[in-house]
Amino acid sequence: MQTELEDKLGEECGVFGAYDFDGGDVASLIYYGLLTLQHRGQESCGIAVSDTNGPKGKVISAKDMGLVNEFFTPEHLEQMKGDIGVGHVRYSTAGSSTRENAQPLVLNYVKGTLGLAHNGNLINAPELRHELEYTGAIFQTTIDSEVIAYHIARERLNSKTVEEAVGHAMKKIKGAYSLIVMSPRKLIGARDPFGFKPLCIGKRDNAYIITSESCALDTVGAEFVRDVLPGEIVTISSEKGIESDISHCIAESDHARCVFEYIYFARPDSYIDGQSVYNARILAGKYLAMDSPVDADLVVGVPESGNVAALGYSLQSGIPYGQAFVKNTYIGRTFIKPKQKSRENSVQVKLNALKEAVYGKRVIMIDDSIVRGTTSDRIVRMLREAGAKEVHMRVSSPPFLWPCYFGTDVPAREQLIAYNRSVEEIREIIGADSLAYLDIDRLQAMVGGLNICKGCFTGKYPMEPPEDDIRGNYVP
């Protein structure tokens, strides 16, 4: 999916589900939640709702390519009557970016209907898919979310409840997933046992919400209740409120949250598993200043995700924090653009250097990561052309040395600039006066001691990765 011109990571998706026990329509609530989660995916979006007091199994859904506020109109939302629903914004890590692959998925089967939204990536999706195909399953998409939906539907035939079916399906699927499942009378949230992807619960009046990030709760005026635990299944129903099944939880020492939620993906105003994303980025910047100091006149961040780490560097070093770039806020994140032609001038379109801020100065530039290095050298050159005397680059993550199989678009090793190169060699390629990365030993302290996945830095994954890297030809 990524091209040689792209140097930002992609995240899989954002999910938002709501159930109003008072019977109010939830489509608008979901809409505003998805707007807040737009940073997690800008290729497609969708909402599916149902009326728990209406005809059982009737689901109204709408999904398409593009941004939430471009596709959904007031007329759309007005027609979507229902007190329970789920929404999704999508970024595809590989493969096709098509309307058919947009979520939520709505499945009609013998027990009724299921609406499903999924954030993450399964590592055994191809084998599960082939197994289903040889027993007669016909797939409408190329996404592993449909594999999950099929397994839940099949398990439901021999299960007393939908949540029990979700639990049985979780025993078969392997990888990273945060799920929201809408059944005719229940809203169910599930998080993989390692806790790769975030998921939390909120409440507004008598409406309950399950979503990827707590910032979406703030937007809709909901109170944060708690995070869904790694391996937990949460069931929300009007009869029993919030019920929990933690039988799929594993020991806390084995959890493996994606550290890039804290470094890059999540909004800085979110809290994930009790830790502030903003504070994590401040700490990353402070650690960079402690471990890799340099004399300079100005500290700047590459918008947006580098800004908070740059502030942390400034606070620790005493070097003034400033703004060196003007960003066109009407352009989406560079990595979201699905075609190479639309990426060719993406850096120039998105960013412009402020000559008055950097002219004649020694500048420390903080960015969250370097993937291929093709964007970094352009931004360094941009600062030099604006008159910066020196450009020192600091990166608020360790070097990428291995691919990711769990929903983050870290590509094959051969495409990574840090693969088989020293930091000095990378510095020469991007044209900076100096370059330093965050020390890998700082990561766990940065997130308050939580256990995290470091696979893309170390090659040691929390579970055995697939033998073949099938991301480019199967999982979108």
Alpha carbons 235 and 226: distance in angstroms, whole number: 14
Q: In the 8-state DSSP scheme, what is residue 11?
A: B
Q: Which residue has the tokens 């703004």?
A: 323
Alpha carbons 16 and 247: distance in angstroms, whole number: 24
Alpha carbons 205 and 194: distance in angstroms, whole number: 32
Helix (H) or strand (E) holding 436: strand 434-437
Alpha carbons 25 and 18: distance in angstroms, whole number: 10
DSSP calls for 438-459: --GGGHHHHTTT--EE-HHHHS
Alpha carbons 425 and 282: distance in angstroms, whole number: 28
By C-alpha distance, which of 475, 474, 455, 452 is closest to 464? 455
13 is annotated as an active-site residue: yes
131-165 per-residue burial string, b: 16 or more CB within 10 A, e: under 16? ebeeeebeeebbbbbbbbbbbbbbbbeebeebbbb
DSSP calls for 392-431: EEEESSPPP-S---SSB----GGG-TTTT--HHHHHHHHT
Q: Which residue has the tokens 């979406």?
A: 216
Give the long-range contacts of residues 421-426, CB within 8 A, separation 24 or more: 423/399, 426/370, 426/373, 426/399
DSSP calls for 284-328: HHHHHHHHS----SEEEE-TTHHHHHHHHHHHHH-PPB---EEE-
Is the separation of the CB atoms in 267 and 213 below 8 Å? yes
Is the separation of the CB atoms in 54 and 113 below 8 Å? no
DSSP-based three-state secondary structure for 207: strand
Q: What's at 276, amino acid-wise?
A: S
**Which residues are annotated as catalytic?**
13
